[in-house]
Structure 1
Amino acid sequence: MSGKLKIILTTTFTLVEQFQSTLSSPQNTSTTPEQRKGLDALPLLSAAATALKSHVTKLSLLTITSPFTPSAVATTVSTLNESVLPSLVTAALLVTPESHTAAFQNEIRILTCTGLKELFMLVKEVQTVAEDKAEKKSLEQSEKDAVTLAAGRVWEACDVLIEVAAKGVVGFVVRRAEEYRDLVKDAVEEIEGWDPDEEGDEFFDELLDDDDGKEIAHIGKDEGSEDDDDEEGKSNAALHEQKKDALRILKPIAQIYPAIISNRLKKTPSPLTPPDARTLEALMKNLQQIPEHIDEVAGALYEADRNNYTRQLRRTKGCASRAIDLVLFPWGMNQASEGQGSIGDIEDKFTNWSKTWAKVMGEVAKSIDEPKSD
């Protein structure tokens, strides 16, 4: 390997590690207005990822095509070091919580770090080929395949970045909300399919698989099992009622997802103002917590833990109510909720729907709305 190429490849490794550290640092979470002025992060990010794909293609072809030319490889890698990688990382750093939400910023930084990691592995393969060229004239097919596969992984990482940048914050939050919606749907269906009367059947069926088990079961039945059966029947009846209450509450909660996605998330303004970004962040946090609380509701039902069941249902309802309140009015109109302007003038279809939803929720949630310590 030529001395120049060795230095340039070493520089790439150092830059990638430094850039990954920068992107992973919690201190680097925002930029100044002066830094953001005149720069649109997502188009820059897409352009940089596209340039990275182009240079990676050229680099892989130069590496596997005979004769191996160190100067051509060095020129391509130098361009990566001097312009492509700095542009990519700069664009990623321009995505901030104030302009795109913290969740979107985190997504972009993770994807960018993935691209850098895959590039690191590709350059490792290039380094190996450059070292081997000193000893043999042509590459084995396995060596060519290793370079091609490494380049393909960089391509995939860049394609994901380009897609996320193209869809922007709106596409990102819609996709996340749809994921949370599906989790809620699955959890509600699981509760709906649960039968308290079948709890423990598997355990007793195993006991009855042998004669000793049958004898034990018979003895248990003789010794006061009628009282036990009566007590179990009451317990199961209570669980059936709790299950019905839970479904009456959870089904309307599940309905907030399509309503919010269609009427608010898909209409998210671009670019985001800092207040809208904060609202969106809080909204997504509540939408994310709902399926987590529903899982806890299901667990409390299965364990017949009435207190935790009630507590988790209250939390689920609270998250749903807060999510609706955060986007009760169209984007940029929430000041009306603080007494400024005429609320009637800015109400829309979702605002009116939310009123109906609140009435329904008030009726179906009476069983958990008694004042209790949470």
Structure 2
Amino acid sequence: MPPSTIADTQALDALITSTLALLSQFTSSLAATSAASTSAAIKDPPNPLDILSDASRLLKAHVTKISLLAINKPFTPSAITTIIREVAGTCLPAMMSAVQICEQDKTIWPEFVGKEAQLRVRRVFREMESLLQEVRNISQGTGAGPGGKRDSLSCTGVVWEACDALAELQKLDIAGLAVQKTEQWRDTIKDAIQELREWMESEALESEGQKDALLDSDDEGVDGDADSFDDIFNAANSMPADRPELKALVEDAVEKLKRVGLLYNALIKRRLKTYPGAQGKGNAKRIDELMVDLRAIPHVIDELASTFYDLDEDQARVVLDKCIIRAKGVASVASKSYDGHDDEFTAWHRKWQDAIG
């Protein structure tokens, strides 16, 4: 290898090392409570979602060039060095600045948007680390050959996916991201309702008089436990036929949870899709309150299902009440429009409160 090529390879290796260190530093900052706490506030900041979109598109272009240069002969470390230096000096810091803007002005950018931006930027950084490691392997000769090419292209594709997910935030904006997440949580509630309904409508398994290898009298430590094993396995698969009060409670829960699902639909249509976006300064805290509870309710419903499967009626009533109280709280926070006036949702909300009990 000529001296110039050796020097170029060493320069590339040094730049990869420093860029990996930069990525590690940025990732640690993103993991902190506030990405803005360690940096000075940006004056007259632009739209951070626009920055993320532009930086993502630019990074995709750079990554494509890096990948092609890495897998094609002859290997030219100096060309790759130029591109990585550009990435480290533009795309990566721009993404960090965008996250900082979200963090520093929460009257415009809700906290859930900032957290989502952090999550997606962190994924881009993680995939960039993998790509840089693969470029280093190729430059050192350990990534050459078909396997090396495949790994490099694979890493590039994953970086592209992460960049596309990051750029998507601009298309979604605040309202679109809120709708996307709330639809996912609503679908989780629908699935839970369907599972509870199927569990309630299934006939209890009849195992009396049937010989089970697991319950054979010759098995050590199992004698006399057949009834308890039956209870455990039957409860997990279907509602016991001799529990009419439990069945009535499940029926009541299913009806109330269906109304909770209707609340999600109404909020999506009347409150989330109509969110004024960055122009709605002062409403960020309100939509954050909605998103916190909308995210939490499916977890409460999951807890409720567990109590039913455990055949614990008393605890099921407690958890069901907790779920409904939380849903009512969400409806109350969203009862008026963003300008503080009554509207169609206000009237619907009152009827919904009466219907859910």
TM-score range, shorter chain: 0.7 to 0.9
Query: What is the rounded CA distance, in whole Å, between the counterparts of 2:117 and 2:41 in structure 1?
Result: 21
Worse overlay, 296-305 or 282-291: 296-305
Q: What CA deviation, in whole Å up to 9, does each residue of 1:139-183 have, x standing for no partner? A: 523222222221111111111111123212222111111111111
Shift of 1:318: 0.7
Does the 8 A contact of 2:108 with 2:282 survive in 1? no
Q: Distance in 2 between matches of 1:143 and 1:247?
A: 54
Residue number in structure 2 paired with 1:82: 89
- What SS does structure 1 have at the residue aligned with 2:140? helix
CA distance in 1, matches of 2:53, 2:176: 15
2:208 corresponds in structure 1 to 204
Decide which moves more: 60-69 or 12-21: 60-69
CA gap of 1:54–1:234, structure 2 versus 1, over 3 A, is closer
- Equivalent residue number for residue 266 of structure 1: 273
- What is residue 331 of structure 1 aligned with on the other side? 338
Matching of residues 104-183 of structure 1 within 5 Å: 104-132=113-141, 139-183=144-188
Identity across the alignment (%): 29
Alpha-carbon displacement from aligned partner over 1:9-47 (angstroms, at most 9, x marks no partner)? 222111111111111111425699951513210001110
RMSD of Structure 2 on Structure 1 (CA): 3.1
**Contact 2:35–2:99 (CA<8 Å) still a contact in 1?**
no
Deviations 1:196-248 (A, max 9, x none): 8844x255364579998xxx99xx9xxxxxxxxxxxx9952222222232233
**1:41 and 2:45 aligned:** no
Measure the CA separation in 1 of the matches of 2:249 and 2:312.
Answer: 11
Q: Say yes or no: does 1:320 pair with 2:315.
A: no
Any residues of structure 2 matched to 1:1-374 within 5 Å, and which? 1-2=6-7, 3-29=10-36, 34-96=41-103, 97-132=106-141, 139-195=144-200, 198-199=203-204, 201=205, 203-204=207-208, 206-207=210-211, 236-271=243-278, 275-333=282-340, 346-362=341-357
- State TM-score, norm by structure 2: 0.83
TM-score by length of 1: 0.79
Any unmatched runs of 5+ in structure 1? 221-232, 334-345, 363-374
User: Structure 1 or 2: larger helix share?
Assistant: 1
SS of the aligned residue for 2:338 comes to coil
How far apart are residue 274 of structure 1 and its match? 6.0
Would the aligned equivalents of 2:203 and 2:241 in 1 still touch at CA under 8 Å? no
Secondary structure of 1:255's partner?
Answer: helix
Distance between the aligned counterparts of 1:254 and 1:181, measured in 2? 6
Asked whether the 8 Å contact 1:50–1:158 carries over to 2, the reply is yes
* Aligned length in residues: 330
| Cα 1:326–1:29 shift into 2, 3 Å | farther
Kept after mapping to 1: 8 A contact 2:200/2:250? no
Bigger CA radius of gyration? 1
Q: Please report how far the alpha carbon of residue 255 of structure 1 lies from its aligned counterpart in structure 2 after TM superposition.
A: 0.9
Q: Could you tell me which amino acid in structure 2 is paired with residue 298 of structure 1? A: A
